């Protein structure tokens, strides 16, 4: 009883932690997409169906009772061809009636109930695992959306820093214009650059909002008032734990075929049961000389056995063997596709990491150029236009560096989304 409050407390804490800071990690986004997917209802429905089917199988051990009624008329009835003066022979009526109750109790079924229970459980597990396969694909979708939106968020931050630098430079230039040591044109050129940067920020913000609205649909949120967290500075190692629901689905499908192989022997097993029948009939179905409504009863043991199936069982076994080979072929094809896409993700990650080192060197050189350009503008040996060109180039290389950084994280997380659970 104590587990329920703890579980509720954990869910409340989880929901509060997601909304309190309005900052989501890529792992949280993937978890939310899986939890809120309508496809998850298929698991509960499969569980309910299996529970009902298992109850039906358990009822097979209970007696079977049937009530039957019959009324017929026939053109001819049994009778003696001659009369006997010693005694009267009753005449069998042509209209006949029968009301009966049949009961049977199974004694031996060859173990079919055990196989049926296992079959229903496998069907339930296959449905649940197929749901996991369908939902697992959401991991890649939301991961791609996450990093596309995150790139725009980070670009906005870089542009905002550049805008702040331009605004500081504009204040210095306006002071110089007021002091008569700079032209108004210089200030206007900076204002144009500020407007262009603001335009870039607005464009990045609008695109980011659009991607967030799509992401909100996948994670079940009504609002887009959340930020995306940049992953840690250190990228995770490349030691991956292969965990795909498709592999479990292949295993379950193979187990289902193995069970079908085992069930083939049931076709050679006899069925034994007790049976009884009682009721009223006119005439008595067991004594036609009793022509009134008379009671009757019969009980005994009966067995059914099919010793010869004309090779059907062997052919069924061959079909199951071919189906198992088909599952093996599907598994190999899936592993081949998975290996191909994961190699691409690894190559994209390594390429982005190599570009980051070059980006850092370019940024360091461009920052030094901008510092010298500031001094040259103040000394009057460089125009404001040339300075703004160098400053704009610094912003661009910083944006490029941020793009390569996000691409490295994205390639890593896309790889995680494919072959490693969160």
Tell me the domain boundaries of the chain. 24-62+112-269+314-419, 65-73+89-108+271-304
- Extract the tokens encoding 21: 């800071």
pLDDT tens-digit readout, 2-35 = 434 443 444 444 444 444 448 899 989 999 999 8
Q: Is the pLDDT of residue 122 over 50?
A: yes
pLDDT of residue 87: 63
3-state SS assignment for residue 281: strand
- What is the C-alpha to C-alpha distance for residues 145 and 216, in angstroms, rounded to an integer? 10
CA nearest neighbour of 403 among 358, 368, 366, 340: 358
Report in angstroms the alpha-carbon separations of 31 from 13, 406, 417. 15, 21, 11
pLDDT of residue 57: 85
- Mean pLDDT of all residues in 69-89: 74
Residue range 24-62+112-269+314-419 forms a domain whose CATH class is mainly alpha
CB atoms within 10 A of CB 305: 9
Q: What is the DSSP-derived secondary structure letter of residue 304?
A: E
Q: Is the pLDDT of residue 421 over 70?
A: no
Instruction: Name the pLDDT band for 202 (thresholds 50, 70, 90).
Output: very high
pLDDT of residue 234: 57
Q: Is the pLDDT of residue 112 over 80?
A: yes
Beta strand 95-108 with 271-282 is: antiparallel
Instruction: Name the pLDDT band for 213 (thresholds 50, 70, 90).
Output: very high
pLDDT of residue 242: 63
Supply the mean pLDDT for the chain: 85
- Extract the tokens encoding 153: 């968020």
Percent of the chain clearing pLDDT 90 (strictly above): 40
Instruction: Name the pLDDT band for 415 (thresholds 50, 70, 90).
Output: confident
- What is the C-alpha to C-alpha distance for residues 263 and 213, in angstroms, rounded to an integer? 52
pLDDT of residue 18: 45
Q: Is the pLDDT of residue 99 over 60?
A: yes
131, 43 contact by CB (below 8 A)? yes
Of 67-81, 228-242, 297-311, minimum mean pLDDT range: 228-242
Q: At what angle are helices 112-178 and 26-35 packed, to 10 degrees?
A: 140
Instruction: Name the pLDDT band for 305 (thresholds 50, 70, 90).
Output: confident
Instruction: Name the pLDDT band for 394 (thresholds 50, 70, 90).
Output: very high
Of 65-69, 232-236, 277-281, 399-403, minimum mean pLDDT range: 232-236
Tracing tokens 């396969």 back to the chain, one arrives at: 133
Give the phi and the psi of residue 62 in degrees, each rounded to 5.
-85, 155
Instruction: Name the pLDDT band for 144 (thresholds 50, 70, 90).
Output: very high
pLDDT of residue 256: 92
Report in angstroms the alpha-carbon separations of 182 from 105, 169, 179, 370. 108, 13, 8, 19
Q: Is the pLDDT of residue 364 over 60?
A: yes
pLDDT of residue 365: 94
For residue 351, how many C-alpha atoms fall within 13 Å in the half-sphere facing its CB? 10
In 179-263, which residue ranges form alpha helices assigned H by DSSP? 184-219, 245-263
pLDDT of residue 246: 92
């Amino acid at each position: 009883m104590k587990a329920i409050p703890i579980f509720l407390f954990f869910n409340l804490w989880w929901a509060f932690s997601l909304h309190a800071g309005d900052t989501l990690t890529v792992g949280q986004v993937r978890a939310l997409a899986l939890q809120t997917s309508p496809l998850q209802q298929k698991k509960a429905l499969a569980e309910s169906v299996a529970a009902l089917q298992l109850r039906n199988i358990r009822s097979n051990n209970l007696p079977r009772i049937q009530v039957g009624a019959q009324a017929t008329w026939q053109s001819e009835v049994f009778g003696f061809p001659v009369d006997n003066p010693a005694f009267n022979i009753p005449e069998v009526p042509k209209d006949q009636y029968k009301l009966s109750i049949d009961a049977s109790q199974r004694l031996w079924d060859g173990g079919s109930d055990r196989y049926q229970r296992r079959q229903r459980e496998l069907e339930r597990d296959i449905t649940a695992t197929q749901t996991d396969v369908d939902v697992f694909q959401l991991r890649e979708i939301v991961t791609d959306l996450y990093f596309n939106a995150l790139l725009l968020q980070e670009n906005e931050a870089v542009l905002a820093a550049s805008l702040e630098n331009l605004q500081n430079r504009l204040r210095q230039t306006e002071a110089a214009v007021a002091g008569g040591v700079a032209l108004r044109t210089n200030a206007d050129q900076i204002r144009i650059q500020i407007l262009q940067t603001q335009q870039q920020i607005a464009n990045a913000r609008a695109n980011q909002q659009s991607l967030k609205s799509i992401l909100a649909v996948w994670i079940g949120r009504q609002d887009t008032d959340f930020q995306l967290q940049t992953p840690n500075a250190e990228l995770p190692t490349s030691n991956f734990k292969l965990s795909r629901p498709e592999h479990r689905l292949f295993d379950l499908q193979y187990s289902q075929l193995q069970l079908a192989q085992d069930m083939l022997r049931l076709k050679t097993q006899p069925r034994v049961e007790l049976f009884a029948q009682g009721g009223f009939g006119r005439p008595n179905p067991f004594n036609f000389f009793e022509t009134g409504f008379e009671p009757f009863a019969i009980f005994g043991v009966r067995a059914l056995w099919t010793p010869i199936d004309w090779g059907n069982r062997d052919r069924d076994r061959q079909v199951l063997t071919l189906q198992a080979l088909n599952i093996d072929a599907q598994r190999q094809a899936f592993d081949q596709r998975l290996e191909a896409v994961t190699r691409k993700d690894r190559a994209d990650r390594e390429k982005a990491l190599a570009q980051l080192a070059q980006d850092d060197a370019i940024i360091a050189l461009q920052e030094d150029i901008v510092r010298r350009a500031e001094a040259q503008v103040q000394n009057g040996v460089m125009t404001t236009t040339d300075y703004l060109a160098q400053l704009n180039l610094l912003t661009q290389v910083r944006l490029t560096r941020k793009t390569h950084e996000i691409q490295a994280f994205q390639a890593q997380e896309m790889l995680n989304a494919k072959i490693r659970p969160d």
